[in-house]
Structure 1
């Protein structure tokens, strides 16, 4: 009899497969059908003629160059330590080759719920004391959040949570390791990531702290290699704040080197090179920034929307649309009057705490996808501040506390000028960003699952399809993120939400002659199709990463009409870029930027009774409006609700 493997035996994740060539090409053809139907409906080429043309392209590619590229892809996979995609070109193509600023365009942002342990007067902007705009409760909450993040990391390393005998444990350990002690590094044409420091590296024991645009490093590990307690973290952060106050009282002002990290990547590369040429001290600072565990920004204000106004020295009512929107805007890009200050956009994880203790996080996207830092953040926020963990607020002076240091850049007039112009470019990006929220609370995933008996994510995706069509009068290729976390070093795959079935559902919803029964049947079919596509993408049988891999295997001079066909590009022009994150019980909102100037970036948190949407578009484009789409999404969700009977609406 064969011995049973021990339950403590390490579990391994399978390699990401190279999908079957024929299956990918056939799925690709199916994904083109709604575009062909649209062309036919608008007086273009008949669907059958268009389809037959693409069949010829696919068959020719499969018989010839496609087979060769598939063989090359298998050979690449055999020589890759983890998988053919992540080891070779995904990070470059998805992130690092882009020259656009990370601000809005690439970084994700996330706003936390307020901590119930903090007095209401503080939340409302009436703190009892402030030093240079930094408040005692702000420092306390920052220390608590930092300690919770460190506790999460420590427990994961010890396998107290998600042990390595589970697939979830392996995935979390491997992916979470990519957000700590690392940073994106600007380089000409293609960025890279800083190398991970050795375990004995002193900089890997530090937290990067930004206050009033000054940089500091705070040691968060004691002499016994244990993370510091929350009260000791508070003492050290308080010492940093005291040092900042002393500098401000002496008339000093920091040159905001941080804003350079929000600039065009090639411009940032040039400016960083110049900075490093000025002094070895700058090399040491950059090394500390790269190797520091993560970053903390203490903002010396609480941001309110310019049109919202502030009365009686109080902020707008907490958890109202203006207040949450202002919070998200500040997390995303800082104060609108001086955007990109007090941030280092190249770090994968930065906690941001405002003077009234509002907190959130922002992150550079390339090391791992936003779900991973959101899991870390959720652990940090879920437990309220424990008063027993702290004594009285520490009234310290800088020299009374050890374990922190200034990181003062050596700058010249060129750097100062570049900071001014970089801020101007950042301001233009921020002013064009139409970033808003929708808290849809008429129903949530409980009703969708239990009454409608449909997949919540697929249901929400159909609502987005309907909302887009109603606001634009046409359809578009739609990107939804699927995680391939079942596989070693798996990242993401595309779910192509725009399908023949989603198109049929939307057209029925806008057709006044269509019956409720027909619409409901079409919704069920569209949801099932989307659910199947989700399953395929998550299990390594999606098509877009494979198509990219095949393209990457083409040698210089090789070409094929399949990839030059306008339908190929059109089917990957994701003007509707979407991603679901989690139930979001600890988060007030989230967001990321639109992929196209005339499109939307939509992140959503699907809770049991509330669905929170973060929507980003561009003010400058006449066909986009976050307000308009927000209303259309709510309208679509209510109309879909009514398909299950008017009586269901009695409680609303």
Structure 2
């Protein structure tokens, strides 16, 4: 049984003794089960597609509706306004008996009218979802009648049990702003960054753009908007991610950490087994579409399209552009340990292996003394180096033979498990150990992560968990949703015995992991080492600091009647001004998933209002009362910007698409070139929490949720700051910069954030926050 997957299913030989046929029952059984699973997946996806196409109705309701229409017609009540008799007489009677014609006419009208009703309902929902007035309401004030009426109609029409993709057909299209509106909003955001002369020059460039090239580019972009489901997302994926030729490690991939205040086990193989099984449970939920779409205000669904490529997905390098390959199914994972790669089957007899069965496989890998093949240990450095070099090496050395089959085992895996050969020794406080842990999850040693896979799960020798994610296929909240589920399943559902091992008893002998074989030539090995040298230089330049803000958090901020996110963004503005002595373009990621296939938009957090408040904090002549007033104005304007970005009135994606159109047309715009070349010296993002309803109570405990994660700086002399609001009095900041820059220092910036938070709290010392 253990060797079933390695057996040859069928061999046919002709020799002196006649014909010899050798048939392996176990291998044939495995192939049959694999086929059955494939057909079951296709059937399930087909039913889901049917259900989604009829939502907010459904097949059962449709059958009931057709039955009602037919029954009433047979009893003399014609709801079709003579359509059924016409169908019976002119469509079906020439080919069928009268009785059959009557039945078919009733069924045809019932099905057609039901589809029409469903489509009207969808279009009505699409119109209703295009209304965003509810988002601009001030908290604490009475809800306007219009918003109440809107909410009541949406509740009536949206349905009570949507599946993951049920609402996709009802989502509106991302609106296309006018050139004038976008340019005017842009000019307002850059006013604090320019002196009068520079701002006047930019105004002139903007005016020339509006009056000349802007209208022409907008007309082409309008045509794309008309013909596509989202005028931004495909270009954003291709030109921002897939066409980049620099390493994706650090520059694109992002990382996330474990729940740092709780250690469920110190047994590496047990933690890896629980997490692997939980991830496959989650994949099954995705396949069945049992996961509910995220709903804003419990009314408005967010686009779920990004979930489709979470598992069984890999980014393939190309000479000019990469591509994302998603496989419909995968029954194995790829595992890396001590320089060796393994293929581990996670199903047997069409059943998912349970944690106790997976743990045996992971222990076999950990205890394996087989040395790595030549070039195998550093092989993954190819995914960490320059993309063109990796594409050339892949085509030349990994297109046939053993290397091809082994590469397929990695690229076609559901995901990657990295079994580290070292401990992550840290406590949940700011320390070098904590930073070293974040460093390791972010980039490792550049050769011990497969950066092209949709995600890598990393488990240290003492069972500390982290994950590294390739960014092009989706944004961070999608992975965050999965990881929250996985950690909760790991700790709550599966658990561990008193020795830290997995619970349960294996149902059958363990299936042996398969060590992948490689034939790496000297020339290929040189390319691997060349990529490693590039990647090593890149990650050694990363300056990473995790600052833990545990003096106060969203609890105190809400008492001050401020938005927690706006408060944090203002703290970052103050910290950056003190760190650099000036203001700079600030990128805050906002989602546009209120629209079909939406991804992100930029909130430009540095504003006229924020700069006035920051300056007041460094002016001893301004009173605390005035500073609080300016802070509220800055936070209110930031909230307005955030809502505008979410509702399709952002600036940067529109300008980006206009720039792409200009390149297709072969025309140059000085205005667009300058806008697109402006550096984001402060790039920020918030990692949301609390997705899973069934674990909502559990994840409100900050000791049991993960500590967020981070990404690399966008500018060589800038900062990347990711933060997660983990509790009422707990916020994690992940700060990155480059050691090679004399203008930045991540530890120093963390101290500036700490001082900014303290100063902002002191503003309210003499004010009532109740």
TM bin, normalised by shorter chain, reads 0.7 to 0.9
Query: Which of 422, 432, 440 in structure 2 is aligned with 1:301?
Result: 422
Deviation of 1:24 (Å): 1.1
2:468 is aligned with 1:362: yes
2:456 is aligned with 1:456: no
2:483 is aligned with 1:377: yes
Aligned to 2:597: 489
Distance 2:413 2:373 in 1: 29
Distance 2:573 2:622 in 1: 18
Aligned to 1:328: 438
Aligned to 1:643: 763
Distance 1:164 1:529 in 2: 26
Q: Normalising by structure 2, what TM-score?
A: 0.72
Aligned to 1:247: 370
Contact 2:300 2:594 (C-alpha < 8 Å) held by counterparts: no
Contact 1:212 1:254 (C-alpha < 8 Å) held by counterparts: no
Distance 2:222 2:659 in 1: 14
Contact 1:162 1:168 (C-alpha < 8 Å) held by counterparts: no
Q: Secondary structure at the match of 1:481?
A: strand
2:213 is aligned with 1:65: yes
Distance 2:583 2:232 in 1: 30
Distance 2:241 2:328 in 1: 26
Distance 1:66 1:318 in 2: 52
Q: Secondary structure at the match of 2:588?
A: strand
Contact 1:139 1:237 (C-alpha < 8 Å) held by counterparts: yes
2:183 is aligned with 1:25: yes
Contact 2:417 2:457 (C-alpha < 8 Å) held by counterparts: yes
Query: Which of 666, 671, 679 in structure 2 is aligned with 1:573?
Result: 679
Deviation of 1:228 (Å): 2.6
Query: Which of 315, 326, 331 in structure 2 is aligned with 1:184?
Result: 315
Q: Deviations over 1:246-274 (max 9, x none)?
A: 314x9998442111111121222222223
Aligned to 2:192: 34
Contact 2:717 2:738 (C-alpha < 8 Å) held by counterparts: yes
Contact 2:316 2:452 (C-alpha < 8 Å) held by counterparts: yes
Distance 2:315 2:533 in 1: 23
Aligned to 1:348: 454
Distance 1:164 1:637 in 2: 31
Q: Secondary structure at the match of 1:381?
A: helix
Deviation of 1:174 (Å): 2.1
**Which segment is superposed worse, 226-235 or 4-13?**
4-13
Q: Deviations over 1:534-569 (max 9, x none)?
A: 0011111101000111111124442233224x5x35
Contact 1:602 1:613 (C-alpha < 8 Å) held by counterparts: yes
Q: Secondary structure at the match of 1:587?
A: coil
Query: Which of 641, 647, 651 in structure 2 is aligned with 1:539?
Result: 647
> Which has the larger share of helix?
2
Distance 1:101 1:495 in 2: 26
C-alpha change, 1:115 and 1:271, in structure 2 (3 Å) is farther
**Which segment is superposed worse, 539-548 or 282-291?**
282-291
Deviation of 1:79 (Å): 2.4
Contact 2:171 2:303 (C-alpha < 8 Å) held by counterparts: no
Aligned to 1:140: 270
Unaligned runs of at least 5 residues, structure 1: 123-136, 304-314
Aligned to 1:428: 537
Q: Deviations over 1:506-549 (max 9, x none)?
A: 11111121211111111111111111010011111101000111
Larger radius of gyration: 2
Query: Which of 238, 249, 255 in structure 2 is aligned with 1:103?
Result: 249
Deviation of 1:206 (Å): 1.4
Contact 1:433 1:618 (C-alpha < 8 Å) held by counterparts: yes
Query: Which of 584, 589, 598 in structure 2 is aligned with 1:476?
Result: 584
Q: Deviations over 1:72-123 (max 9, x none)?
A: 112112222x211113x1112211222221221211011102585645xx4x
Q: Deviations over 1:389-415 (max 9, x none)?
A: 779869x9xx96326322222211122
Q: Deviations over 1:258-309 (max 9, x none)?
A: 11111121222222223225x3222223333222211110011115xxxxxx
Aligned to 2:18: none
C-alpha change, 1:333 and 1:559, in structure 2 (3 Å) is closer
Distance 2:469 2:334 in 1: 14
Query: Which of 171, 188, 192 in structure 2 is aligned with 1:13?
Result: 171
Contact 2:375 2:525 (C-alpha < 8 Å) held by counterparts: no
2:384 is aligned with 1:262: yes
Contact 1:478 1:577 (C-alpha < 8 Å) held by counterparts: yes
C-alpha change, 1:511 and 1:318, in structure 2 (3 Å) is closer
Distance 2:375 2:358 in 1: 25
C-alpha change, 1:408 and 1:444, in structure 2 (3 Å) is same
Distance 1:400 1:58 in 2: 70
Aligned to 1:221: 347
C-alpha change, 1:467 and 1:442, in structure 2 (3 Å) is same
Q: Normalising by structure 1, what TM-score?
A: 0.84
Aligned to 2:290: 160
Distance 1:216 1:171 in 2: 38
Contact 1:444 1:609 (C-alpha < 8 Å) held by counterparts: yes
Q: Deviations over 1:410-458 (max 9, x none)?
A: 2111222233333333222222111111001110011111x21111111
C-alpha change, 1:504 and 1:319, in structure 2 (3 Å) is closer
Contact 1:105 1:595 (C-alpha < 8 Å) held by counterparts: yes
2:700 is aligned with 1:592: no
**Which segment is superposed worse, 207-216 or 621-630?**
207-216
Distance 1:174 1:109 in 2: 22
Aligned to 1:129: none
Q: Secondary structure at the match of 1:74?
A: helix
Contact 1:156 1:173 (C-alpha < 8 Å) held by counterparts: no
Distance 2:299 2:486 in 1: 19
Q: Deviations over 1:336-392 (max 9, x none)?
A: xxx113210111211000000011000111100111111111111134166677798
C-alpha change, 1:164 and 1:466, in structure 2 (3 Å) is closer
User: Which structure is higher in RCO with an 8 Å CA cutoff and minimum separation 6?
Assistant: 1
Residue correspondences, number:
591
Contact 2:293 2:302 (C-alpha < 8 Å) held by counterparts: no
Aligned to 1:604: 723
C-alpha change, 1:354 and 1:282, in structure 2 (3 Å) is same
Contact 2:375 2:528 (C-alpha < 8 Å) held by counterparts: no
C-alpha change, 1:525 and 1:6, in structure 2 (3 Å) is closer
Distance 1:357 1:91 in 2: 35
Contact 2:255 2:442 (C-alpha < 8 Å) held by counterparts: yes
C-alpha change, 1:647 and 1:170, in structure 2 (3 Å) is closer
Contact 1:231 1:391 (C-alpha < 8 Å) held by counterparts: no
Q: Secondary structure at the match of 1:553?
A: helix
Aligned to 1:235: 360
Distance 1:24 1:325 in 2: 40
Matches within 5 A, 1:505-516: 505-516=613-624
Matches within 5 A, 1:271-286: 271-277=393-399, 279-286=400-407
Deviation of 1:627 (Å): 1.1
